[in-house]
Amino acid sequence: MDQVTQAAINSDRQWRWLMELAEFGAIPDNGVNRQALTALDRAARRQLIEWASEIGATVSIDEAANLWLRVEGSDPTAAPVLTGSHMDSQPKGGRFDGAYGVIAGLEAITAMHQAGIVTKRPIEVVAWTNEEGSRFAPGCTGSMSWCGFKPVHEWDDVKDADGIFYGAALATQLGFESDIPRRPLGGPVHAYVEAHIEQGPLLESEGLDIGVVTGIQGSRWFTVTIEGESAHAGTAPLSLRRDAMLDAVRAIQALSDAMADPDDVLRFTVGRIAVSPNSSNSVADRVTFSIDLRHPNADILTARGALIPSVIQSAMTVCDARLVENFTAMPTDFHPLVIAAVEHAAKATGHSIKHMASGAFHDAQFASRVAPAGMIFVPSHKGISHNPAEYTSPAQLAAGTQVLMHTLLRLANS
């Protein structure tokens, strides 16, 4: 028997692990609220380490608190194959976003271990730190640090809603996990493959098993601050006001017009706004709002993003505007080596596939800067994600993990 037929994914065990992991930060209606670098995050990581210890995996963390589980290969000098995803969630998240990719990696190496398979290359499962960016923006700080795109301390001064700094939260996490051996960031890597729920409706609506992800559209996040002057709503004449709210509204409308796309491919979102002093009878002296801009074409993303400062500037009547770009992930094309390995694995295991690009960003976008990378999508019921109602069936998850395992076998024996 070859290695493909020897090892079998245990769907029940994988589902049980996922459901047990979802207990860490469980919220009503099957939701999960497990923010990065919290006590809940650490408890979930300890649970993962316990499961991994059953197959003798070596555990380590790096300076960005990414957590690594490693099984050795037969060639001690060979660069490893990486898989994994993230374990943090949105505040009202579901049980599968991120968690699935980590558990799928653990299930794949466990099934291989139980079948007595030793690949040529080592296989490592990673749980990246702070992918979601919901507690500390931006997301993907763990993978950005690991690949050298940004230094680990780039976001030290970013505060969460309680005023806790990212740098302090990271130091706390590393302190609590000081018993876990440290490893350096980066390193030679043969390939990276990440399993994830689709977070969109395409696979389900077309009745397909597996998304072979060909790339990820680019994302740019900005913060706009409009500065005016506070005044009494009853006494200050309109002609003398510097109303930050009104100029912010003009700016958002002008941006929305400038970002219109007849092909409906560009994604432009203003999803967060903060008003100071946020009082019904005061003129606003400061309004801050976010911009999330995405497109699969790098030139278009660059060109549209370049319009933003002048569009905002020309919308100002009496206020001053400041613009900061907080996050940039240019569009990513995944590597033919990994795409072919996923295709081959899906074919070998009898699963239907769809080639697709990802609308959401993922850690794979940053891993791809240092290693051939790719992703495997499984269907998301009704495309629902970042929501407690997120759902993928045990059988669909097992199919994805089967494809992941065979992809890992192929890459780790090459």
Give me the least distance between CB of 199 and Zn ion, in Å please: 7
Complex with Zn ion: residue 98 or 142, whichever CB lies closer: 98
Residue nearest to Zn ion (CB): 98
Complex with Zn ion: residue 86 or 410, whichever CB lies closer: 86
Give me the least distance between CB of 366 and Zn ion, in Å please: 13
CA–CA dist 136, 203 (Å, integer): 31
Complex with Zn ion: residue 97 or 243, whichever CB lies closer: 97
Complex with Zn ion: residue 285 or 363, whichever CB lies closer: 363
Residues in 319-378 that interact with Zn ion by CB under 5 A: none
For β-strands 282-283 and 81-86, DSSP reports them as unpaired
From residue 97 to residue 116, the character string flagging contacts with Zn ion as x (rule: CB under 5 A) and all else as - is xx------------------
| H/E segment holding residue 401 | helix 394-412
CA 297, chain centre distance (Å): 20
Complex with Zn ion: residue 97 or 285, whichever CB lies closer: 97
Give me the least distance between CB of 86 and Zn ion, in Å please: 6
Complex with Zn ion: residue 25 or 122, whichever CB lies closer: 25
- Number of residues in contact with Zn ion under rule CB under 5 A: 2
Give me the least distance between CB of 338 and Zn ion, in Å please: 18
Complex with Zn ion: residue 3 or 141, whichever CB lies closer: 141
DSSP 8-state secondary structure symbol assigned to residue 104? H
By CB neighbour count within 10 A (0-12 exposed, 13-18 middle, 19+ buried), where does 188 fall?
Answer: exposed
Complex with Zn ion: residue 71 or 140, whichever CB lies closer: 140
Question: Within a 13 Å sphere around the CA of 315, how many CA atoms are in the beta-carbon half?
Answer: 26
From residue 73 to residue 102, the character string flagging contacts with Zn ion as x (rule: CB under 5 A) and all else as - is ------------------------xx----
Task: Give me the DSSP letters along 46-95.
Answer: HHHHHHHHTTT-EEEE-TT--EEEEE--S-TTSPPEEEEEE----TTB-S
Sign of the torsion angle spanned by Cα atoms 177, 60, 360, 96: negative
DSSP 8-state secondary structure symbol assigned to residue 413? T
Give me the least distance between CB of 102 and Zn ion, in Å please: 10
Give me the least distance between CB of 97 and Zn ion, in Å please: 4
Task: Give me the DSSP letters along 290-315.
Answer: EEEEEES-HHHHHHHHHHHHHHHHHH
CA–CA dist 402, 348 (Å, integer): 10
How far the first Cα of the chain sits from its last, in Å, is 19
Give me the least distance between CB of 316 and Zn ion, in Å please: 37
Give me the least distance between CB of 103 and Zn ion, in Å please: 13
Applying CB under 5 A, which residues contact Zn ion?
Answer: 97-98
